[in-house]
């Protein structure tokens, strides 16, 4: 399996401005989030990139993409019919090939030499099947993630065979259907936001979109769960960092994480310490004078 | 290898199912003791939970039923107090160790065996209950709730749909769950008990039908209501960060603002709603004790500043219906909460099979949390239609695997292969009723468990028959043969059910069946017992041609029969007949939105009065919108019609009228000659702390020791022939009369239900349910026939018992008693008082208390705190008048019952009629084995004492004083008067309350002779003089208050009494003590003792003393 195409989704109504935000990357240069995600994709050796956007968003996206603008293709999600529909919108772009998929509102920071997406792509190519990155996540965070249930593959401590995927399960459902042997009690494998999917996903999405009457539309989890019934589908457990920039303080946390794992680490650390010292010492002095 | 261990460990069912009784019958006491030693080792070594438990039950039964009957077992024993306190504190292993050490030191004896039996019994049930709890916690889908301890860990989120305000209306939508209740066609001999299903899953099978109900108008005049799901739960978001709980059926509500309040179950009537909030995971059980604000949790579940309102409603179905109303209400509440928090696939509609199972598992958890308990199939209403529920053998993926053979949760198989007409035919034939009785089924479940684990012969056979009957019912369901079903359920009731638990039936039920049978003949197809006992919810199956008529007649028959029995049998309510239909959907939810988003009509009279007292500007916008809509609905919606009047009634409560009012208590007191001056003195002394529970006790420096060797004559064996001859001569000469004391209320027998214990048809003896009085008269008849002279039999009564006993004896023709039968009416009456907090604390905190199982103890502590607060708010030591008048009064103790014989002229009349009369045998109504034994009478005559008191050696249950040397004087001492609890355990003998009296010697103590018996003034003075020398005890009694539809609350009240045993302290009264066999002396105080009483052959002993009319 060769993976040459990537689909980045950025059409969600709460999500569409996030890739346009600017951060200082690990190399100390100022970059829009979109650029950082595109570089993650390129690091994985995937060069044909499609961004799913709302109609009219391609212009600002092209503008912030800078040097990468030329390689980006834009696909419209014409109606807000959910996450599954956003991916389905890229069907023509993918055109029957396996593809890498990243969400546009997350940043991924690898602890290792290889990039996060790169690791997923390598496993998918080696195993010749769909792979989703997952992370062991405490059950109190289940309301935020799609969660997989499956079995560990012998001899591969980080690989699981996915049997089912449920979007934002209640802990009750998770405990009944998603317990994975080997994880600590109360922890589940939650989707990480990086997937290599096979083209079979589009047929599944098509049939789900035709029958769904859910208010949130069809989720990728619904489709992935079906995919696992039809073909081998693996989960790669990751210990890297992933930041949801769409939540409260998400962008700030992502920035701090980038800075602390990059070339400006010492400078940022000392700035932080100085800030803390000034605030705390200032408060202590104020107390003294009172 | 020990024979009994071989039975326990056998895999071959023929060996495994051998009865313990059969083995023990042929074994000597030494063989049994050797077996006990082996079983004791085995129970600690065995790795298998059910083998350990079975060994514990074997040990219990050997000590309780078999060793005491073996020749050579010593009777007299001292039970170590330390072991007893360990037992109270649930430290069973330590208790067993101490009792065994004593057994080694003293040798095996009756007293220590009783202590060991109790310890093994309770340890056995503790292990079983712990295992059920462990399984409930480890059910997949429940585990997370126990590890979620901080509000920030709450993983549930309320579905966004519930936050959608209706445009222009400001009303949050309401999620409404409607759930049927369940009725069991058969439970295969209570096979739904958790322990049994887990021990023998193959035998755990129940056929259970989900039904909708409506209560028929008793007069049959109002238009019939269509059956509907009897229980409903409502869930809604509110714009206030609190949990608002409202029970429409119990007319109560609360706004909860802290986590701690949710775990306080008995504080109010909202325990079931709290249990649902916890077991649905909204406030997971792991959060008990967490300190974070509830508003944080609610904010995390939904949105900051918002809360949840949960409302329960039962559509007119009374408590005790045997239809598992409360379990299904709990399940309904849990289901609505689970739907709202995304734990089901859909917000509305029917549940999926896996979700029903989850709701059932959570309901079991909820029942455990709230300290109640239900059967394993009780939440059957969650499922639709008619289903077979069966135990499942645990497989490797189950948490029970390797621990118990069966799984905690059964499997529900909806029976779809029935004849299409079966449901309709069942509806056309079955008359479903609530007979009005509400009994506690708890003890029955323990009895069944015990009998099955012991493989008691008759009961085990009964179980097998019950299993076969289930197959028969299944077959007939398939073919639509309702007549056959009627015959099968009747056979089930008459056969296996009563073989296993005779107490499942009662005289009331038997009378109903008999009357229906005689009236409807062949067209009455059979009786069907619902749930664990009869008397409450019951079914009668008729030829459809006569069903409608039967509904009307059953209402009349039940009401008439209830009226005839109501002084003898505890009824909680007026009997009712239901209309019903099979529910084909199970628990089902719908969303009520837009202008319809109002709570049920009964909700508004509970909450609106408080809202009306607030300034409108202080109401939130949604509350104002709701009130607007409500006010509109009162004009337009039929369900809300009449609401304005109802609201007025709630806003301006009016005084109660008629029977329940304070005025009628005053009337009653005036009529009964209530002594107001004495009452005020008691109240003032109680308030000032001069009297009280603590003040009942003798000074701590009193020397109280056990009897000396010659203090008690041992009459447990044969008495000399001379005694018998003397006794027979006296009987033939008409020298003796029997006095049965029946003035007391027998509070423990029915937990303060206020019925006359003496008339309670407590047991089926020689083919008929007999009352205590009938049994005593049958013994007198027997003795009279032997002696040739009929004994005069006196029954002492009180204000409470006189009229019912008189009427009952009249209607029963004195039970055919041929001799003189005289009632001796009591004269004294007291008015109960609300206890002081000081006395309640003394009783519950200072005196040794039996610690309950963890969760039940929490509930009890919470209840007691609530009762102390009730006493403080209602007014300590004020008159207790908030109940039926008769429940507010009390008899003033049995001391007065003997002097009453003097004062009311009964003794004078007796002596006039029979001048040869010299002696009285006085006994308590519950001492069933006490008869006129000629040899004992002879012994008493020869002793020349004024009193001969019968005592028995002590067993662990015999609490309440005994025979002692108090500061050197031999006398009976009441438990209330003992300065320290442990003293009682140094006393070998327990008072049976049976006394032989020499009339002339007793009169002398009163300063009287026979000739004085006509002198009322002298009699009154002499009785008062002796009364003044008798101590007055303050006692705490339970009294039931009934309200609503079959609801009962139990309140502690204070009353005072003087007790006959204190006469033995008078120095001028010569008194002898004689030890009698236990079967003669033991008293039946609590109906839970009945089964043991039957099994230890005490019932057979009683029958051997009786000549029934």
* Residues B459 and B452: beta-carbon distance below 8 Å: yes
CA of A115 vs chain B CAs: smallest distance (Å): 31
User: Is pLDDT larger for residue B527 or for residue A56?
Assistant: B527
In a domain, A69, yes or no: yes
Confidence at residue B652, expressed as pLDDT on a 0 to 100 scale: 66
What whole-number distance in Å separates Cα of residue A278 and Cα of residue A274? 6
Confidence at residue B658, expressed as pLDDT on a 0 to 100 scale: 43
Do β-strands B919-924 and B989-998 pair in parallel, antiparallel, or remain unpaired?
Answer: antiparallel
Q: How confident is the model at residue B612 (pLDDT cuts 50, 70, 90)?
A: confident
In a domain, B214, yes or no: no
The three-point CA angle B76-B80-B82 to 5° equals 165
Cα(first)–Cα(last) distance of chain A, in Å? 71
CB–CB contact B141 A186 (8 Å): no
Cα(first)–Cα(last) distance of chain B, in Å? 52
Same domain, B729 and B773: yes
Q: How many helices (H) and strands (E) does chain A have?
A: 10, 13
What percent of chain A is predicted at pLDDT more than 90?
A: 65
Place of tokens 């053979």: B405
Residues of B in contact with A137 (CB under 8 A): none
Average pLDDT over residues A89-111: 93
Residues of B in contact with A172 (CB under 8 A): 141, 144, 281, 338, 343, 358
Identify the CATH number of the domain in which residue A94 sits.
3.90.550.10
In a domain, B509, yes or no: no
Same domain, B126 and B167: no
State pLDDT tens for residues B226-247.
899 999 999 999 999 999 999 9
**Which chain B residue has its CA at the smallest distance from A170's CA?**
B343
Average pLDDT of every residue of chain B? 90
User: Is pLDDT larger for residue B716 or for residue B676?
Assistant: B716
Residues of A in contact with B342 (CB under 8 A): 168, 170
Report how many domains make up chain A: 1
Residues of A in contact with B152 (CB under 8 A): 140
Same domain, B816 and B761: yes
Residues of A in contact with B161 (CB under 8 A): 215
Same domain, B901 and B1018: yes
What whole-number distance in Å separates Cα of residue B794 and Cα of residue B777? 10
What whole-number distance in Å separates Cα of residue A195 and Cα of residue B68? 76
What whole-number distance in Å separates Cα of residue B692 and Cα of residue B835? 9
Residues of B in contact with A183 (CB under 8 A): none
Residue B490: pLDDT above 90?
A: yes
Side-chain-side CA neighbours of residue A60 (13 Å): 15
Average pLDDT over residues B113-132: 92
In sequence order, which residues have a C-beta less than 8 Å from that of residue A210 and are 6 or more positions away?
none
Report how many domains make up chain B: 4
Confidence at residue B371, expressed as pLDDT on a 0 to 100 scale: 66
Residues of B in contact with A142 (CB under 8 A): 155
CB–CB contact B354 A176 (8 Å): yes
Confidence at residue B826, expressed as pLDDT on a 0 to 100 scale: 85
Phi and psi torsions of A151, nearest 5°: -120, 145
* DSSP letter string, A97-131: S-EEEEETTEEEE-SSSS-HHHHHHHHHHHHTSEE
In a domain, A44, yes or no: yes
Q: How confident is the model at residue B73 (pLDDT cuts 50, 70, 90)?
A: confident
Tokens representing residue B403 in the block:
């621990």
In a domain, B977, yes or no: yes
In a domain, B656, yes or no: no
Burial A215-251 (b: 16+ CB within 10 A, else e): eebbbbbbbbbbbbeeeebbbbbbebbbbbbbeeebb
Same domain, B129 and B251: no
State pLDDT tens for residues B214-223.
988 877 666 6
Confidence at residue B285, expressed as pLDDT on a 0 to 100 scale: 93
What whole-number distance in Å separates Cα of residue B604 and Cα of residue B505? 42
In a domain, A259, yes or no: no
In sequence order, which residues have a C-beta less than 8 Å from that of residue B121 and are 6 or more positions away?
B56, B57, B60, B64, B450
Same domain, B1082 and B1015: yes
Same domain, B109 and B66: yes
Average pLDDT over residues A150-163: 92
In a domain, B200, yes or no: no
* Residues B40 and B116: beta-carbon distance below 8 Å: no
Residues of A in contact with B147 (CB under 8 A): 185-186
* Residues A45 and A83: beta-carbon distance below 8 Å: no
**Which chain B residue has its CA at the smallest distance from A166's CA?**
B345
How distant is the alpha carbon of residue B87 from its chain centre?
Answer: 22
What whole-number distance in Å separates Cα of residue B358 and Cα of residue B679? 57
Confidence at residue B654, expressed as pLDDT on a 0 to 100 scale: 53
* Residues B1050 and B894: beta-carbon distance below 8 Å: no
What whole-number distance in Å separates Cα of residue B855 and Cα of residue A161? 42
What whole-number distance in Å separates Cα of residue B760 and Cα of residue B771? 5
What whole-number distance in Å separates Cα of residue B498 and Cα of residue B490? 11
Strand partners, A160: A152, A235
In sequence order, which residues have a C-beta less than 8 Å from that of residue A80 and are 6 or more positions away?
A11, A12, A13, A217
Same domain, B257 and B133: no
Confidence at residue B552, expressed as pLDDT on a 0 to 100 scale: 93
Average pLDDT over residues B869-894: 88
Of the candidates B142, B148, B341, the beta carbon closest to that of A170 is on B341
CA of B1059 vs chain A CAs: smallest distance (Å): 60
In a domain, A91, yes or no: yes
CB–CB contact A173 B148 (8 Å): no
Tokens representing residue B1085 in the block:
């105080």
Average pLDDT over residues B92-104: 96
**Which chain A residue has its CA at the smallest distance from B149's CA?**
A140
Q: At how many degrees (to 10) do helices B482-492 and B422-429 cross?
A: 60
Q: What is the DSSP letter of B468?
A: H
In sequence order, which residues have a C-beta less than 8 Å from that of residue B482 and are 6 or more positions away?
B422, B425, B426, B428, B429, B430, B476, B525, B541
Q: How confident is the model at residue A290 (pLDDT cuts 50, 70, 90)?
A: low
* Residues B149 and B286: beta-carbon distance below 8 Å: yes
What whole-number distance in Å separates Cα of residue B1078 and Cα of residue B1076? 6
CB–CB contact A172 B358 (8 Å): yes
Same domain, B916 and B1063: yes
Tokens representing residue B203 in the block:
């035998």
Which helix (DSSP H) or strand (DSSP E) does residue B247 occupy?
strand B243-247
Q: What is the DSSP letter of B879?
A: B
In a domain, B670, yes or no: no
Average pLDDT over residues B1054-1081: 94
* Residues B177 and B233: beta-carbon distance below 8 Å: yes
Strand partners, A283: none
What count of residues does chain A have? 290
Same domain, B623 and B702: no
Average pLDDT over residues B162-175: 87
In a domain, B950, yes or no: yes
What whole-number distance in Å separates Cα of residue B183 and Cα of residue B185? 6
In a domain, A100, yes or no: yes
Helix (H, G, I), strand (E, B) or coil at A161: strand
Residue B316: pLDDT above 80?
A: no
Residue A131: pLDDT above 60?
A: yes
What whole-number distance in Å separates Cα of residue A17 and Cα of residue A64? 11
What percent of chain B is predicted at pLDDT more than 70?
A: 97
- For chain B, the residues whose C-beta falls within 8 A of a C-beta of chain A are 140-145, 147-148, 152-157, 161, 281, 338, 341-343, 354, 358
Parent domain of A188: 5-249
Confidence at residue B318, expressed as pLDDT on a 0 to 100 scale: 75
**Long-range Cβ pairs for the range A149-158 (8 Å, 24+):** A149/A177, A149/A178, A149/A179, A149/A180, A149/A189, A150/A180, A150/A189, A150/A228, A150/A235, A151/A180, A151/A181, A152/A180, A152/A181, A152/A182, A153/A234, A157/A237, A158/A236, A158/A237, A158/A238
* Residues B174 and B588: beta-carbon distance below 8 Å: no
Parent domain of B48: 3-138
Helix (H, G, I), strand (E, B) or coil at A8: strand
In a domain, A176, yes or no: yes
* Residues B324 and B367: beta-carbon distance below 8 Å: no
**Which chain B residue has its CA at the smallest distance from A145's CA?**
B155
**Which chain A residue has its CA at the smallest distance from B342's CA?**
A170
In a domain, B402, yes or no: no
Same domain, B711 and B797: yes
Confidence at residue A6, expressed as pLDDT on a 0 to 100 scale: 96
What whole-number distance in Å separates Cα of residue B424 and Cα of residue B381? 19
In a domain, A22, yes or no: yes
Same domain, B1034 and B985: yes
Of the candidates A140, A172, A186, the beta carbon closest to that of B154 is on A140
Of the candidates A142, A168, A186, the beta carbon closest to that of B147 is on A186
In a domain, A264, yes or no: no
Chosen for mutation from A138, A141, A171 (greatest number of chain B CBs closer than 10 Å) is A171
């Amino acid at each position: 399996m060769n993976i040459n195409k990537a689909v980045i989704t950025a059409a969600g109504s709460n999500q569409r401005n996030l890739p346009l935000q600017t951060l200082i990357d690990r190399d100390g240069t100022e970059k829009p989030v979109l650029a950082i995600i595109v570089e993650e994709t390129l690091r994985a050796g995937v060069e044909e990139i499609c961004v799913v956007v709302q109609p009219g968003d391609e212009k600002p996206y092209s503008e912030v993409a800078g040097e990468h603008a030329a390689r980006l293709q834009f696909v419209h999600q014409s109606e807000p019919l959910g996450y599954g529909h956003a991916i389905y919108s890229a069907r023509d772009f993918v055109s029957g090939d396996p593809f890498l998929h990243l969400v546009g509102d997350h940043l991924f920071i690898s602890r290792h030499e290889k990039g996060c997406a790169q690791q997923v792509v390598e496993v998918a190519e080696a195993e010749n099947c769909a792979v989703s990155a997952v992370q062991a996540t405490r059950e109190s965070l289940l309301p935020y993630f799609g969660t997989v249930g499956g079995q560990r593959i012998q001899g591969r401590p980080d690989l699981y065979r996915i049997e089912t995927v449920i979007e934002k399960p209640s802990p009750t459902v998770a405990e009944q259907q998603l317990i994975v042997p080997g994880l600590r009690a109360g922890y589940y494998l939650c989707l990480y936001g990086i997937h290599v999917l096979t083209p079979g996903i589009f047929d599944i999405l098509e049939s789900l979109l035709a029958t769904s009457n859910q208010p949130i539309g069809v989720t990728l989890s619904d489709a992935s769960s079906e995919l696992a019934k039809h073909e081998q589908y693996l989960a790669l457990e990751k210990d890297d960092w992933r930041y949801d920039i769409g939540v409260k303080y998400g962008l700030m946390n992502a920035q701090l994480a980038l800075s602390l794992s990059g070339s400006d680490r010492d400078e940022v650390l000392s700035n932080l310490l100085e800030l803390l010292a000034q605030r705390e010492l200032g408060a202590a002095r104020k107390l003294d004078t009172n | 290898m020990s024979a009994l261990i071989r039975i326990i460990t056998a895999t071959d069912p023929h060996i495994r199912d051998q009865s313990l009784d059969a083995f023990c019958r042929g074994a000597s006491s030494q063989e049994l003791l050797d077996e006990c030693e082996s079983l004791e080792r085995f129970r600690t070594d065995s790795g298998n939970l059910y083998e350990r438990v079975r060994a514990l039950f074997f040990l219990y039964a050997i000590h309780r039923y078999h060793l005491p009957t073996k020749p050579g077992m010593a009777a007299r024993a001292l039970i170590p107090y330390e072991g007893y306190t360990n037992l109270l504190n649930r430290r069973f292993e330590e208790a067993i160790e101490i009792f065994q050490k004593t057994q080694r030191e003293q040798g095996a004896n009756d007293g220590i065996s009783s202590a060991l039996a109790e310890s093994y019994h309770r340890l056995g049930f503790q292990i079983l209950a712990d295992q059920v709890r462990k399984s409930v916690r480890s059910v997949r889908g429940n585990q997370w709730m126990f590890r979620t301890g901080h509000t920030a860990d709450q993983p549930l989120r309320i579905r966004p749909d519930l936050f959608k305000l209706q445009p222009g209306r400001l009303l949050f939508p309401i999620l409404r769950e409607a759930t049927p209740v369940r009725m069991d066609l058969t439970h295969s001999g209570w096979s739904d008990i958790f322990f049994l299903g887990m021990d023998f899953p193959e035998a755990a099978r129940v056929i259970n039908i989900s039904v909708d109900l409506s209560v028929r108008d008793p007069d049959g005049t109002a238009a019939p209501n269509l059956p509907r799901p009897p229980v409903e739960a409502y869930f809604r978001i509110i714009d206030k960060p609190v949990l608002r709980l409202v029970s429409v059926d119990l007319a109560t509500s609360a706004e909860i603002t802290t986590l701690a309040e949710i775990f306080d179950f008995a504080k109010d009537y909202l325990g079931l709603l709290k249990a649902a909030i916890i077991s649905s995971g909204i406030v997971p059980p792991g959060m008990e004790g967490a300190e974070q604000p509830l508003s944080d949790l609610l904010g995390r579940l939904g949105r900051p500043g918002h809360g949840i309102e949960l409302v329960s409603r039962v559509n007119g179905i009374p408590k005790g219906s045997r239809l598992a109303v409360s379990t299904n209400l709990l399940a309904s509440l849990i289901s609505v909460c689970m739907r709202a928090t995304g734990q089901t696939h859909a917000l509305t509609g029917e549940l999926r099979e896996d979700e029903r199972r989850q709701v059932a598992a959570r309901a079991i958890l909820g029942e455990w949390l709230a300290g109640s308990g239900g059967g394993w199939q009780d939440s059957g209403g969650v499922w639709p239609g008619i289903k077979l529920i069966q135990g499942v053998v645990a497989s490797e993926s189950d948490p029970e695997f390797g621990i118990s053979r069966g799984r905690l949760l059964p499997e529900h198989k909806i029976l779809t292969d029935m004849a299409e007409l079966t449901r309709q035919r069942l509806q056309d034939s079955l008359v479903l009723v609530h007979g009005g009785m509400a009994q506690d089924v708890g003890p029955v479940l323990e009895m069944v468990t015990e009998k099955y684990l012991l493989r008691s012969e008759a009961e085990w056979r009964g179980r097998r028959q019950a299993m076969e009957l289930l197959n028969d019912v299944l077959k007939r369901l398939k073919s639509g043969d309702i007549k056959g079903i009627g015959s099968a359920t009747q056979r089930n009731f008459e056969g296996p059910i009563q073989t296993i638990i005779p107490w499942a039936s009662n005289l009331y039920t038997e009378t109903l069946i008999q009357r229906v049978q005689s009236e409807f003949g062949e067209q009455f197809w059979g009786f069907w017992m619902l749930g664990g006992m009869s008397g409450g919810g019951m079914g009668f199956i008729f030829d459809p041609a006569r069903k409608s008529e039967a509904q009307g007649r059953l209402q009349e028959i039940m009401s008439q029969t209830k009226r005839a029995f109501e002084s003898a049998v505890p009824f909680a309510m007026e009997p009712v007949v239901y209309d019903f239909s099979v529910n084909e959907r199970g628990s089902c939810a719908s969303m009520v939105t837009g202008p319809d988003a109002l709570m049920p009509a009964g909700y508004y009279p509970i909450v609106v009065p408080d809202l009306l007292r607030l300034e409108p500007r202080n109401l939130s916008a949604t509350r104002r919108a709701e009130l607007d809509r409500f006010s509109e609905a009162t004009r337009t919606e039929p369900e809300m019609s009449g609401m304005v009047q109802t609201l007025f009634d709630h806003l301006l409560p009016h005084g109660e009228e008629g029977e329940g009012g304070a005025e009628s208590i005053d009337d009653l007191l005036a009529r009964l000659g209530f002594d107001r001056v004495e009452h005020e003195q008691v109240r003032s002394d109680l308030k000032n702390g001069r009297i009280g529970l603590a003040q009942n006790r003798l000074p701590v420096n009193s020397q109280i020791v056990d009897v000396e060797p010659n203090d008690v004559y041992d009459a447990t064996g044969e008495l000399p022939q001379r005694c018998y001859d003397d006794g027979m001569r006296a009987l033939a000469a008409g020298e003796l009369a029997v006095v049965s004391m029946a003035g007391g209320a027998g509070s423990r027998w029915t937990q303060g239900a206020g019925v006359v214990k003496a008339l309670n048809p407590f047991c089926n003896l020689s083919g008929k349910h007999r009352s205590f009085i009938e049994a005593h008269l049958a013994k007198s008849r027997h003795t009279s026939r032997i002696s040739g002279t009929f004994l005069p039999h006196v029954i002492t009564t009180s204000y409470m018992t006189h009229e019912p006993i008189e009427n009952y004896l009249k209607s029963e023709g004195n039970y055919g008693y041929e001799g003189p039968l005289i009632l001796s009416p009591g004269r004294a009456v007291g008015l109960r008082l609300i206890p002081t907090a000081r006395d309640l604390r003394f009783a519950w905190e200072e005196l040794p208390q039996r610690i309950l199982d963890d969760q039940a103890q929490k509930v009890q502590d919470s209840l007691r705190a609530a009762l102390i607060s009730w006493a403080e708010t209602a007014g300590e030591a004020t008159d207790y008048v908030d109940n039926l008048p008769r429940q507010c009064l009390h008899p003033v103790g049995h001391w007065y019952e003997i002097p009453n014989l003097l004062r009311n002229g009964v003794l004078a009349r007796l002596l006039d009629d029979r001048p040869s009369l010299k002696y009285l045998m006085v006994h308590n109504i519950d001492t069933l084995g006490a008869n006129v034994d000629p040899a004992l009478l002879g012994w008493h005559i020869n002793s020349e004492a004024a009193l001969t008191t019968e005592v028995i050696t002590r067993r662990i249950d015999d609490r309440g004083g005994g025979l002692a040397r108090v500061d050197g004087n031999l006398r009976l001492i009441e438990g209330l008067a003992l300065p320290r609890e442990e003293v009682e355990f140094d006393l070998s003998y327990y008072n049976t309350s049976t006394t032989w009296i020499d009339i002339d010697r007793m009169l002398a103590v009163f300063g009287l002779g026979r000739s004085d018996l006509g002198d009322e003034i002298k009699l009154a003075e002499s009785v008062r003089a002796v009364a003044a020398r008798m101590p007055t005890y303050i006692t705490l009694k339970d009294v039931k208050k009934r309200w609503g539809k079959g609801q009962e609350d139990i309140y502690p009240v204070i009353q005072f009494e003087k007790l006959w045993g204190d006469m033995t302290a008078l120095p001028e009264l010569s008194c002898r003590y004689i030890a009698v066999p236990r079967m003669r002396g033991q008293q039946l105080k609590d109906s839970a003792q009945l089964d043991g009483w039957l099994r230890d052959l005490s019932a057979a002993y009683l029958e051997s003393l009786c000549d029934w009319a």
